[in-house]
Structure 1
Amino acid sequence: MARLEYQWPYQNKSLKDMKGEIWQEVPGFDGELVVSNFGRVKVLSRFIVHKNAPNGFWTKEKIKVQSVTKRKNNYTGDTTIHLSCIIKRGKRQMNLSVRRMVYQAFVDSDIDHMNSKIWFVYVKDGNGFNCSADNLELISSSEAKLREIKDGRRLPINDLVRREAHWQNYRSSLGNRAEPVKQYDLAGNFIAIYPSCTAAAKATGVGRTNIGASARKVFYRAGGFVWRFEFEEYKGEYAKISQK
């Protein structure tokens, strides 16, 4: 059996259809752009006339190259994947979300590309490389935030306010003294204690602000480590958090 040269459908640049692949027009492109139920994007052959070719010519079909964007979650420290591709129409150039095109073509043709700040197309399994039509769903921005909180990927605003107030009270009690900070690995093993976030940053190369944010539990970790101020312990609660 021939070895596949790609792991995900978007990496397959062959014009040959994959097994079970179905193509649909992307609304708004006059039949020139199609997307498959697996998330591949194809520009169809079209007749073009311009000053260097007054008699016109037919372009070739081609599979569009997709860009991978990794968006960091500052709370967990991991990343989510988003696929997009650049589409040109005349002098206009657009960077379109692949998952939105698939959803629009196979699930709901009324979805508005310009409404992406209100409605999000989510991947059900959390894997941004999997833009198959059956892996997509449309949710509101408020629902997206609730899901992130439920999945431990966003801190509820009440918890954030409470933690900041707690830290400010502790900071006030120190007066002009710097607060010692402790360094742990994700499993909860103690590594070192430093006299301040500044000292920890100099010793480890991790940003001072990020160390402080981890110590205040605004972020899970910083520089691959978990940080706590002297009065708190870390016992490995985040050990199961994985990269996405």
Structure 2
Amino acid sequence: MKLPIELGDKYINTVLSNFSLENLSGEKWKWIEDFENYAISNYGRIKSLERWVATPNGGMQKLSDRILKPQAFRYFNKYLNTHFYNVRCNLCVEGKIYGKSVARLVYYHFVEKFDMDDLSFRMSFKDDNRFNVHFSNLEKLTANKVRSKALNKGRGKKGNYQQTVSQYTVEGDFVATYENIYAASESLGISPPHILAVINRKRTTAGKFRWFAKDYTLTKEDFIPETKSKPEKALNIRLWKRLGQPPIDENNPPACMNLLLKTLPGESWQPLPNLEQYFEISNKGRVKRLNSWTQNRNKTFWKEHIISLFVHRSDSEKYFLYTKLSCNGKSYTIAITRMLYYCFIEKFDLKNRNLVIVNGNDSQWDIDILKLSLQSINDILTERNKTKIRKILNSKKVFNDSLWEKLNRPRINMKNPPAILDLSLRDLPDEYWKPLPGFGGKYVISNKGRIKRLSGWTVGTHFYEEDQILSLCLKKAESPYLYFRLHAKEDINPKVLTRILYFCFVEEFDLNNRTLRIVNENESLLDIDLSKLSLRFITNAFNKKEK
């Protein structure tokens, strides 16, 4: 904004509003560092120096010396209910405009050079006239000294800044005593009003410390700041709903849902490992945050309270309770039963994820710690697998309709289908069986091309209690062929039917030699004549039907 000449300030009217190139009495000029086209005087006047500049049409224009009009930045002081001003100027370099404080420029060029970007130093005016930017009226003070100067002259918040004060850590340990608030401010770089506000209980800390008048008699309660707290809730409604809203007394809810600080009957507390100063857990499964201070950049006081629990469900029946904690910038997820066992029954390696806590309580949320047990996850999985063994019976299917569909529904006798479509357990005429290579006692193959899974053995969680004819599958290719699959834990690779038939009923060969191929010269896949199968090297079988 323009200079407020309406204020009638003498320095504005006689100096800052004087745009004559004639020097004032005793006026001296210096080039402004980093701004070669400008000069500043010890009075605070700014001169744009003579120079040639390019014009938009490609020509050159000569700019003559001239005194620039300074500007005023106005701000409002709410304590004094009045406006204050800073005198500023705009300097241009390569088309970019920079706003600068005139007082800082004058002090830098005529009193003492300093880091212009260091805002911890402020320009103070000896006669308190912020328009008087003459070099003799300026002094460089720290921000705290500027505040102290203002307070000493009755500006800002009123208060007893001359009282002797004592400095304490938030935990209550004595640090130091200072002659007055200004001395503490100067030593530690803390704003005097902030220290006074702590003493007057308007703030909790200043500079991460607690402050008291030296003659004040301290008690333990003085280090538990008064905080605004919401009315204490008794019931963790969210957890109650997540647990299916079991019938409870809402005025005296079960421990896991109880948020009241009052100790429950028979309840005892233990500190949480590695968080002893901040949290405790009770034998009822409740977690309490203690009266404590955070160690973050800004000290924060947490008042003692019960922390809400949450439920994590893996399915409709299995779940566990946990809580989320935050402390000194770190987050923690605590499984309640795991921490209960560690704190009240037996310590173990909390980082060992192979050790798990089994909750034997009928209601997982109504925790009796005597029904918790520590087990190895391997033992648990082994036991679970035992209980999950499934008995596999015969499917009772007698016809492979899926294969028939893929073969484009050839005309057949449904009551007496071709062997490869027949899933009945009865032996076909002239059919005989041999063990499947590598799977004796589990699978057999017949000379008719049928595969039978035998009963009486277990794989994974399956126990095969009855025999079963396996369904054959069709691989559609230039030379289509039939194949079958075994249980994935036995062999994940598909088995080519004609290859196994040739090995078992015609001639044994190296089944792992992939250069040997079986050529199937039967006209139809429905009927397999073993005499029309031949073993050839892949080079000889290239132009023949394979498999």
Same fold (TM over 0.5): yes
* 8 Å contact from structure 2 (residues 86, 101) kept in 1: yes
Q: In the TM superposition, what is the alpha-carbon distance from 1:53 to its structure 2 partner? A: 3.5
The secondary structure found in structure 2 opposite 1:53 is: coil
Structure 2 gap segments, 5+ residues each? 1-9, 158-192, 204-547
Aligned counterpart in structure 2 of residue 9 of structure 1, from 15, 35, 41: 15
Q: Give the corresponding residue for 2:39.
A: 34
The answer to which structure has the higher helix fraction is: 1
Q: Give the corresponding residue for 2:194.
A: 157
- 1:147-186 correspondence to structure 2 within 5 Å: 147-155=149-157, 156-161=193-198, 162=200, 164=202
Aligned counterpart in structure 1 of residue 128 of structure 2, from 126, 129, 138: 126
The secondary structure found in structure 1 opposite 2:106 is: helix
Q: In the TM superposition, what is the alpha-carbon distance from 1:38 to its structure 2 partner? A: 1.1
* 8 Å contact from structure 2 (residues 55, 61) kept in 1: no
The secondary structure found in structure 2 opposite 1:129 is: coil
* 8 Å contact from structure 2 (residues 42, 106) kept in 1: yes
> Structure 2 vs 1, CA of residues 14 and 163 (structure 1 numbering), >3 Å: closer, same or farther?
farther
* 8 Å contact from structure 1 (residues 39, 99) kept in 2: yes
Structure 1 gap segments, 5+ residues each? 166-244
Aligned counterpart in structure 2 of residue 60 of structure 1, from 57, 60, 64: 64
Q: In the TM superposition, what is the alpha-carbon distance from 1:120 to its structure 2 partner? A: 0.9
Counterpart AA for 1:93 = I
> Structure 2 vs 1, CA of residues 8 and 123 (structure 1 numbering), >3 Å: closer, same or farther?
farther
Q: Give the corresponding residue for 1:44.
A: 49
> Structure 2 vs 1, CA of residues 104 and 120 (structure 1 numbering), >3 Å: closer, same or farther?
same
* 8 Å contact from structure 1 (residues 71, 81) kept in 2: yes
Q: Give the corresponding residue for 1:217.
A: none
Q: Give the corresponding residue for 2:81.
A: 77
Q: Give the corresponding residue for 1:111.
A: 114
Q: In the TM superposition, what is the alpha-carbon distance from 1:51 to its structure 2 partner? A: 5.2
* 8 Å contact from structure 1 (residues 8, 129) kept in 2: no
Aligned residues: 158
Counterpart AA for 1:47 = W
> Structure 2 vs 1, CA of residues 77 and 16 (structure 1 numbering), >3 Å: closer, same or farther?
same
- Larger displacement relative to structure 2 (130-139 or 75-84): 75-84
* 8 Å contact from structure 1 (residues 84, 98) kept in 2: yes
- Larger displacement relative to structure 2 (125-134 or 84-93): 84-93
Q: In the TM superposition, what is the alpha-carbon distance from 1:158 to its structure 2 partner? A: 4.4
Counterpart AA for 2:61 = F
Q: In the TM superposition, what is the alpha-carbon distance from 1:159 to its structure 2 partner? A: 4.2
> Structure 2 vs 1, CA of residues 18 and 53 (structure 1 numbering), >3 Å: closer, same or farther?
farther
The secondary structure found in structure 1 opposite 2:13 is: coil
Q: Give the corresponding residue for 1:98.
A: 102
Counterpart AA for 1:29 = F
1:120-144 C-alpha deviation (Å, 9 max, x unpaired): 1111111011110100111111221
Q: What's the C-alpha RMSD, in Å, of the aligned pairs?
A: 2.4
1:20-73 C-alpha deviation (Å, 9 max, x unpaired): 21111211212x21111111111101122355234x332111111111223222
The secondary structure found in structure 1 opposite 2:131 is: coil
Counterpart AA for 2:49 = L
1:139 partnered with 2:145? no
Q: Return the structure number with greater relative CO, CA threshold 8 A, min gap 6.
A: 1
